[in-house]
């Protein structure tokens, strides 16, 4: 860091990440991050959600991590919980699927049925 402005920018970025990871937002996105999920690419999935939500300007979405959900063959697994709606679970969520989920489900309100895992 070379000046106070760089420090402030770093602080603001850290606050944004913390806000996305918890709090009382309208939507909670939970990425399963057990060893099976990580091996299947859950870290890239988590990173993609953070990037896509920021790009879409969705500040009312919390992104959290969970352990293994017990469906290793469907990893990376993601659960979307929108206030007053039934949770939706998606399987095999790679960064391309993240873009669709953010655009179609979180922005347009339409469940991406071909990615759903019941």
In tens, the pLDDT along 23-36 reads 567 899 999 999 99
93 close to 115: Cβ distance less than 8 angstroms? yes
Hunting for tokens 């929108």 — which residue is that? 82
Q: What's the CATH number where 95 sits?
A: 3.40.30.10
pLDDT over 60 at 53, yes or no: yes
- By CB neighbour count within 10 A (0-12 exposed, 13-18 middle, 19+ buried), where does 7 fall? exposed
pLDDT at residue 21 in the model? 55
Confidence of residue 37 (pLDDT cuts 50, 70, 90): very high
In which band, very low, low, confident or very high, does the pLDDT at 1 lie, cut at 50, 70 and 90? low
Pairwise CA distance, residues 82 & 12, whole Å: 26
Return the closest-CA partner of residue 112 out of 96, 79, 90, 95.
Answer: 90
Strand partners, 78: 31, 90
Structure tokens, 62: 């919390």
Percentage of the residues of the chain whose pLDDT score is greater than 70: 91
pLDDT at 112: 97
Per-residue pLDDT band at 6 (split at 50, 70, 90): confident
Q: Which of 112, 115, 114, 60 is nearest to 83 (CA)?
A: 60
Report how many domains make up the chain. 1
Range of the domain at 30: 4-115
């Amino acid at each position: 860091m070379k000046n106070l402005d760089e420090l402030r920018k770093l602080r603001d970025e850290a606050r944004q990440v913390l806000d996305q990871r918890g709090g009382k937002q309208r939507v909670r996105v939970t990425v399963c991050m057990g060893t099976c999920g990580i091996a299947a690419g859950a870290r890239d999935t988590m990173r993609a959600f953070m990037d896509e939500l920021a790009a879409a300007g969705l500040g009312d979405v919390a992104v959290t991590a969970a352990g293994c959900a017990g469906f290793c063959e469907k990893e990376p697994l993601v659960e979307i919980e929108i206030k007053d709606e039934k949770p939706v679970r998606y399987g095999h969520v790679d960064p391309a699927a993240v873009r669709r989920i953010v655009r179609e489900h979180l922005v347009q309100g339409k469940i991406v049925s071909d990615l759903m895992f019941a």
